[in-house]
Amino acid sequence: MSRPTAICVGAGCGKERPIKAKGLCGYCYNKSRGAGGRPPVVCADCGQEAPHFAHGKCRRCYENERQRADRARGCPDRRAARTARHRRWALRARFGLSPERHAEVLASQGRLCGICAEAPVDEQSAIDHCHVTGRVRGVLCRPCNLAIGGLRDNPAILRRAVAYLELDIDHRDLPR
């Protein structure tokens, strides 16, 4: 069954065509919907009616805003703030740690690495966690974190590595 034909009420159309909706032919209806099939919007910045682009803005205003943000991104103060925000978000999202709980873990270790107890740890140090349960074990310096990661968090492999290293104690006079 075909659509009924009528005179399109679209601006400047006036042709007799099958009506799609709101008294408009298919061409005028799609044109009224703007880019991507969305109705046009009044841009939040410039106030002009334009096809929807992003965040209620026309393409020109959106791109100008992105350029301003990109320029500001280079500012060291903004970069530091953004990094700190991301770190807080990552601690909560990946490990379920609030900044207060993270500070408690650091303090409980005396702000030293949980393995070597030599390297100082801070907010940028690695969060060690069980890859099976997700439970946080502590905070490690980068070399210690890489070491246990390289041993696949496997205690049996770690024991064999320790035994291997202890063998070397008796053979220190070998050429290097």
Q: List the one residue out of 130, 124, 134 whose CA is nearest residue 155.
A: 130
**Burial class for 34, CB neighbours closer than 10 Å (0-12, 13-18, 19+):** middle
Q: What does each of the 176 residues of the chain score in pLDDT, given as a tens digit? A: 566 778 877 767 777 888 777 777 877 777 776 545 556 667 878 888 776 667 777 888 888 888 888 777 777 777 777 788 888 898 898 889 998 999 999 999 999 999 999 888 887 789 999 888 888 999 999 999 999 989 988 999 999 999 988 886 666 665 55
Q: What is the pLDDT of residue 131?
A: 83
**Burial class for 114, CB neighbours closer than 10 Å (0-12, 13-18, 19+):** buried
Q: What is the pLDDT of residue 151?
A: 92
Whether residue 107 contacts residue 100, with contact meaning beta carbons closer than 8 Å, is answered with no
Q: What is the pLDDT of residue 29?
A: 75
Whether residue 41 contacts residue 50, with contact meaning beta carbons closer than 8 Å, is answered with yes
Cα distance between residue 118 and residue 41, in whole Å: 60
Q: What is the pLDDT of residue 148?
A: 92
Report the first-to-last Cα separation within the chain, whole angstroms.
89
> Residue 176: enclosing H or E segment and its boundaries?
none
Q: What is the pLDDT of residue 116?
A: 92
